[in-house]
With several copies, the nearest count.
Chain A
Amino acid sequence: MKGLYQDLIIDHGTKPRRKGIIENPSAKERGHNPLCGDQIEVFLEIDPDGVVKRIRFEGEGCAISIASASLMAEAVEGRPAEEVQALFENVHGMLSGKGHDDLGKLEALSGISQYPMRVKCATLSWHTLMAALKKMGPVSTEGV
């Protein structure tokens, strides 16, 4: 089970960090994978410099999808929005089995690339996050 269910995944999958909601968020977005039934909602508080000051999520899904959301939230909080874009692409590269830079803790997700059916579980939260950022318009990534 090394590949898929590393301790870190189980840990975050069963005890997710940054779960919850943000009242009056700068942006929020829902994600849904109808084929799995996974649901997620991402809340963002972005400061005027375009930095993700706080991120929270609510959702239901398998351990992979919850762990991915939890690890994502941890990795993203405190980062400027434009870095988040780069991070997303990096994570996406890792999950689709392509090359990627060092991703620290997020590398716990790397084994998933062997399981195409599960890749969507892991990317749902990321796609939802990106959609939330996009909603804020180019402004957010240009650091107004």
Chain B
Amino acid sequence: MNFQNDFPVYKTYPNLAYLDSAASSQKPSCVIDAMTQMYQSQYANVHRGLYQLSEQATIAYEAARQTVAKFLGALEDQLVFTPGTTASINLVAQAFLLPRLKAGDEILVSRMEHHANIVPWYRLCEQTGAKLIVIECDELGQLDLQAYAKALESHRVKMVALVHVSNVLGTINPIASCISLAKARGVPILVDGAQATAHMPVNVAQLGVDFYVTSAHKMYGPTGIGALYIAKDHFEDMMVYQTGGNMILEVDFDKVTYMSGPPKFEAGTPHIVGAIGFAKACDYLSSIGWNQIMAHEQALLAYLNHALASFSDIKVVGKAASKIGVVSFVMDRVHPHDIASILDHHQVCIRAGHHCAMPLVRYFGYPALSRISLGLNNVQKDIDQLITALDQVRKIFA
């Protein structure tokens, strides 16, 4: 299986080994073309146009919502388009949790969270006097499920916010169990799926989750758009968040009424073309199918792990039993930033740093980690190239 031909970046850089999909993925032609076409010949604002161009744009936008919703196992009236995962989490924190949070209440997060799933809750705690409770992970990078269940016993827990797949460790969390446990205690739960939705099937309805969030740009889709799934019964008991056009029923200076459902949370002109691209990215993934996608990425992951195992001076951080193709590591005597820069010279793109997960990286005792992340666009040659480049790093720092 080789999907490189789907990605035009290889026309410009035939020897690129792009191993940074976890930061943001490259884009297949079908996604780029759909957006280009929309801008070239199908563009108009949506929702209030009484001419065909606008009607069609509206239909396309709502069809995109349906596609993305279906891709995640949701109904279209449960799917809100947002600017991305970060914006989605902020929305849930402020519009859902803030009004029901009191001093002393608790919000559960894990050690593995991305800053996007820490800081919005931290802010809420500052605003209300509530507390962040942290569920730790073991040295393999696996969530402490027992500690989680224990923490849930406190009647002060008002929300759980948990990452589905760690962007540093690749760990796939046992999210179904986490959700059941939370539901059993009647605690609402948000799952951060930013690193999950491009790599494994997700069905929010089956999961029974309250809120699920992800970003298109990590799913071979465009920048500036993401999805927020809201379980149907929560739409009504959420406050409005951002306000303005398109989300109102009636406006007067002394009385405003709001729309219900997804429009309630989509103030202003939406990222119309982003939605089209997002839907196309979902279609692209669906057309390949999860079996192939997962087989492809797991084969590469096994190949990568095998190759890295032969380096005695490299230590992989994050060895959970259930992982996607994300591998963080440290190399003796060489700082991750130097590794990344030298690899770049060999056209190998990896990321180095704290990966927006400072508490996690610090927990493992490093100031920074190097991270390799795999996507559909990768092939074995990329890993061979990486290994050759790592040899060079060792030579330079010998």
Query: Which among A44-52, A55-63, A85-93, A102-110 touches the partner chain?
Result: A55-63
Contacts of B47 in A (CB 8 A): 117
Q: Are A35 and B249 in contact (CB under 8 A)?
A: yes
Q: Are B367 and A115 in contact (CB under 8 A)?
A: no
CA distance A37 to B333 in the complex (A): 16
Contacts of A60 in B (CB 8 A): 367
Q: Are B337 and A64 in contact (CB under 8 A)?
A: yes
Decide yes or no whether A132 CB sits under 8 A from chain B. no
Task: List CB contacts (< 8 Å) of A1-55 with chain B.
Answer: 1, 4-5, 10, 13-14, 34-38
Decide yes or no whether A94 CB sits under 8 A from chain B. no
Give the Cβ gap from A32 to chain B, nearest Cβ, in Å: 9
Decide yes or no whether B150 CB sits under 8 A from chain A. no
Known A-B contacts A35-B353, A64-B337, A115-B341; A10 and B58 likewise in contact (beta carbons under 8 Å): no
Give the Cβ gap from A16 to chain B, nearest Cβ, in Å: 13
**Which label, helix, strand, loop or mixed, suits the secondary structure of the B interface?**
mixed
Decide yes or no whether B103 CB sits under 8 A from chain A. no
Query: Which among B48-56, B125-133, B224-232, B311-319 touches the partner chain?
Result: B48-56
Contacts of B58 in A (CB 8 A): 116-117
Known A-B contacts A64-B337, A116-B55, A117-B50; A36 and B396 likewise in contact (beta carbons under 8 Å): no
Q: Are A1 and B338 in contact (CB under 8 A)?
A: no
Q: Are B335 and A61 in contact (CB under 8 A)?
A: yes
Q: Are A37 and B367 in contact (CB under 8 A)?
A: yes
Contacts of B397 in A (CB 8 A): 10, 14, 63
Q: Are A37 and B338 in contact (CB under 8 A)?
A: no
Picked from A1, A13, A64, A116, the residue with its CB within 8 Å of the CB of B59 is A116
Decide yes or no whether A71 CB sits under 8 A from chain B. no
Decide yes or no whether B342 CB sits under 8 A from chain A. yes
**Which label, helix, strand, loop or mixed, suits the secondary structure of the A interface?**
mixed
Q: Are A1 and B50 in contact (CB under 8 A)?
A: no
Give the Cβ gap from B115 to chain A, nearest Cβ, in Å: 12
Contacts of B353 in A (CB 8 A): 35-37
Contacts of B396 in A (CB 8 A): 1, 5, 10
Interface size class on chain A is: 20 to 34
Picked from A4, A34, A63, A115, the residue with its CB within 8 Å of the CB of B249 is A34
Contacts of B54 in A (CB 8 A): 117
Contacts of B250 in A (CB 8 A): 34
Q: Which residue, A14, A35, A64, A117, has most C-beta atoms of chain B within 10 A?
A: A117
Picked from A34, A62, A64, A116, the residue with its CB within 8 Å of the CB of B257 is A34
Picked from A34, A35, A64, A117, the residue with its CB within 8 Å of the CB of B338 is A64
Q: Are A117 and B49 in contact (CB under 8 A)?
A: yes
Picked from A5, A35, A36, A37, the residue with its CB within 8 Å of the CB of B342 is A5
Decide yes or no whether A118 CB sits under 8 A from chain B. yes
Decide yes or no whether A121 CB sits under 8 A from chain B. yes
Give the Cβ gap from B53 to chain A, nearest Cβ, in Å: 12
Q: Are B50 and A118 in contact (CB under 8 A)?
A: yes
Nearest residue (CB) in B for A2 is: B345
Decide yes or no whether B354 CB sits under 8 A from chain A. yes
Q: Are A36 and B249 in contact (CB under 8 A)?
A: no
Contacts of B386 in A (CB 8 A): none
The 8 A CB mask of B16-55 against A (1 = contact, 0 = none) is 0000000000000000000000000000000111100011
Contacts of B304 in A (CB 8 A): none
The 8 A CB mask of B248-270 against A (1 = contact, 0 = none) is 01100000010000000000000
The 8 A CB mask of A116-130 against B (1 = contact, 0 = none) is 111001000000000
Known A-B contacts A1-B345, A117-B48; A62 and B335 likewise in contact (beta carbons under 8 Å): yes
Across the A-B interface, give the 3 residue pairs with the lowest CB-CB distance, nearest first.
A37-B367, A62-B335, A62-B337
A selection of 7 A-B contacts at a CB cut-off of 8 Å is: A1-B342, A4-B341, A4-B345, A13-B338, A14-B333, A35-B48, A117-B49
